[in-house]
Structure 1
Amino acid sequence: MEMRVLKEKEMKHVFEMKEAIQADKDALALYSAEEVDIPLRINLDVPEEEGRSLYMPGYAAKAHALGVKIVSVYPKNIEKGLTSVPATMVLVDTETGQVCSIMDGTYLTQLRTGAVAGAATDLLARNDSSVFTLVGTGGQAETQLEAVLAVRPIRKVYVFDIDFERAEEFAETMTTLYGEKYGTTVEAVSDIEKAIKKSDVITSVTTSPVKTFESEWVKPGAHINGVGSFTPEMAEIDTAILQNAGKVYCDTRDALVESGNFTQPVEKGLFNLEDVTGELGDLINNETPGRETEEEITFFNTTGNAVLDIVTAQRIYEAAIKKDIGTTLKF
């Protein structure tokens, strides 16, 4: 058996953001067409270490993608100088059933999550969008930034974080990485209201239990991505945005019960899940409408799904094979 091991640096070398965005579009189109098999993830508690291990399997026949992402949550790892949320992607050859690749699951998660917001922005934001505000500068922030830059002619990026010094450091680093490449400027701001009012695209990627900005600050025609809410306790998006948006999209309807952006307003009787326009895959498959006016506000919420992991991982593996990148193990 031959297995290819791919590290973050190698994955970046063979696969660009625009390719990841297309991979996510293809994955969600297959999901919404019910052409994939994505079982519920398996959660195993490891109480002795105060840890948890999660297994996210999936199979997408038309994408020749089969595998499982293993994600662990071990808070005590910080004391050992290790990441508290290690992740590994195990890819399986659909023809033989043998493991064909092991790759960095942490970077894969960052890439496919940024890319899915990029896909939504590409499908829903105004074509002339030029100002972008990014709320939150954690581990997901860089790919969220590049994904939007990859699909719209953004000339100004405002970055906000509750820690202004961290926002400044992030803005400086992102300017070096993407300023010249995409012809944009990245600026840290302390006044989020002013930034939001100017923005054509807004992405909030935080685990905040309360809204990170007000609906009334959002200008007509803006597109909003809600990325950080993956538990019912997390609710970074103002409920009024869901109520006022002309289109409300999600990655998968089944996961809406996991996001506080939806569960909290539903419990309070302020929003009905039947008012969700559809899954992003429905829009890709021309089953639901996209933006219909220049003044319409659009909203997309993602909680993530294994189909994004397996399809993106398969595309990265194929690119690595073509360019002969990575470490090959034979046994």
Structure 2
Amino acid sequence: MLILDGMDVRAALTMEDCIEAVREALKIFARRECEQFPRFQLKPATAAPLMGLMPAFQGGDMPVWCLKDVLVASGNRARGLDSHQGVILLHDGTTGEPLAVVDATAITAVRTAATSAVATLALARPDARRIAILGSGTQARAHIDALRIALPGAEIVLWARSPGQAGRLAEEAGCRLASTIEDAVVDADIICTVTGAREPLLRRDWLKAGCHINAVGASSPQARELGTDIVASAAFFVDSRAQAMVECGELLLPMREGAIGEDHIRGEIGEVLVGARPGRSSADALTVFKSLGMAVEDMAAAVCALRNAKTMGIGQEIRWRAG
């Protein structure tokens, strides 16, 4: 069994590799050639971190079971740690033998941004060249890397509630720093919201015609980065319908308000990739991709990291004997 810590994952899993792995995983999910099971969020009565459990299985020539356990500790930024901590367990899908323990924090950072890059290429206007990123944490940095691969040469504007942290990231990454959200998004062809906001950040009249939004930050039924006005007027795409109907505040809150119905989801992004659902309908259409994150994405990224790590000879190998 191979153990890959965060440094190993960053060495073995390039953003380019992850984008391709996630794109293929989304297609496989759309064709129902893999199985993703309901994920559980466990919250103790104390102020301890939330735990999420995300299982998935893929058959074929090399069947794999995957279980991601991720803990979300909202106070970690003050501790100098990422808010998401955990591991991904990979098992042989035939024998059940453990194959790898992979750092989930590093995988989550890369695969989330890689998924946004895939969705952007599928839904944004082909001539999109201006990107606004709202946030300055791990996902902001990863989205800069991913979208520079997806759209080389695009201008990136950054805004965050913490101007000091945003300024440092903008300087390091060569982005323009905006003083307000409106300034960041008013001319943007693509907007990525990667914040901890629980209330809407954007106004519909700030958005450029034909804009595409990757809404990434909120992941509970009570939280949303996009308001009803934006969601109701957008062609709304998700990673998983089943998951969105349980967890997606951007969808569930407007439904409770009576502004949209259960049929508001245009399609899963994998369905767009395989041609089962249409994507952008016109140059002026507003498109939204709501990313909640899926176990099949983690599985694809972890398997890719494991394969590359074995080729590169990195990671810690340990003997494993059942019983």
TM over 0.5: yes
Residue 256 (1) aligns with residue 244 (2): yes
Aligned to 1:31: 29
Name 1:136's counterpart in structure 2. Answer: 135
Query: C-alpha distance in 1, partners of 2:80/2:217?
Result: 25
2:99 is aligned to: 100
In structure 1, the partner of 2:205 is: 216
What is the aligned length?
Answer: 318
CA–CA distance in structure 1, aligned partners of residues 133 and 84 of structure 2: 23
- Deviation per residue, 1:224-256 (Å, 9 max, x gap): 1100111112111132222222x3210000122
2:206 equivalent to 1:196: no
Which stretch shows the higher mean deviation, 101-110 or 25-34?
25-34
One-letter code aligned to 1:8: G
Deviation at 1:298, TM superposition (A): 1.4
- Give the distance between the partners of 1:196 and 1:80, measured in 2 at CA: 31
Aligned residues of 1:128 and 1:152 also touching (Cα < 8 A): no
Match of residue 20, structure 1, among 18, 21, 24: 18
Range 255-264 or range 56-65, more displaced = 56-65
Taking the aligned partners of 1:100 and 1:118, their CA distance within structure 2 comes to: 29
Which residue of 270, 280, 296 maps to 2:285?
296
**Matched residue SS, 1:106:** helix
Residues 23 and 215 of structure 1: CA distance in aligned 2, closer, same or farther (over 3 Å): same
Could you say if the C-alpha distance between residues 65 and 284 of structure 1 is closer, same or farther in structure 2, counting changes exceeding 3 Å?
A: farther
Q: What is the CA distance between 1:187 and its match in structure 2?
A: 1.5
Q: Tell me how far apart the structure 2 counterparts of residues 79 and 194 of structure 1 sit (CA, whole Å).
A: 28
- Distance of 1:132 and 1:294 partners within structure 2: 17
Normalising by structure 1, what TM-score?
0.88
Tell me which moved more, 220-229 or 15-24: 15-24
Query: Which is further off, 47-56 or 282-291?
Result: 47-56
Q: Does the alignment pair 1:7 with 2:5?
A: yes
Deviation of 1:154 (Å): 4.0
Q: For residue 324 of structure 1, what is the aligned residue in structure 2?
A: 313
Helix, strand or coil: the match of 1:23?
helix
- Larger mean CA deviation between 4-13 and 194-203 belongs to 4-13
Matched residue SS, 1:27: helix
Q: Deviations over 1:91-142 (max 9, x none)?
A: 1122432111111111111111111111100111122221110001122211
Query: What are the residue-to-residue correspondences of 1:31-180 with 2, within 5 Å?
Result: 31-44=29-42, 50-62=48-60, 64-73=63-72, 85-175=84-174
Gaps of 5+ in 2: none
Whether the aligned pair in 1 keeps the contact of 2:241 and 2:268 (CA below 8 Å) is yes
Instruction: Return closer, same or farther for 1:242/1:4 CA change in 2, 3 Å cut-off.
Output: same
Question: What percent identity do the matched residue pairs reach?
Answer: 27
Checking the alignment, whether the CA contact within 8 Å between 2:41 and 2:52 is kept in structure 1 is: yes
Describe the SS at the equivalent of 1:198.
coil
The Cα shift of 1:19 comes to: 1.7
Structure 2: distance between partners of 1:90 and 1:36: 17
Deviation for aligned residue 1:173: 2.3
Cα separation, 1, equivalents of 2:194 and 2:150: 18
Aligned with 1:330: secondary structure? coil
Distance 2:263 2:145 in 1: 32
Amino acid in the other structure paired with 2:171: E
Q: Deviations over 1:16-52 (max 9, x none)?
A: 2122112112222222222222222244555577344
The CA deviation at 1:174 is: 2.0
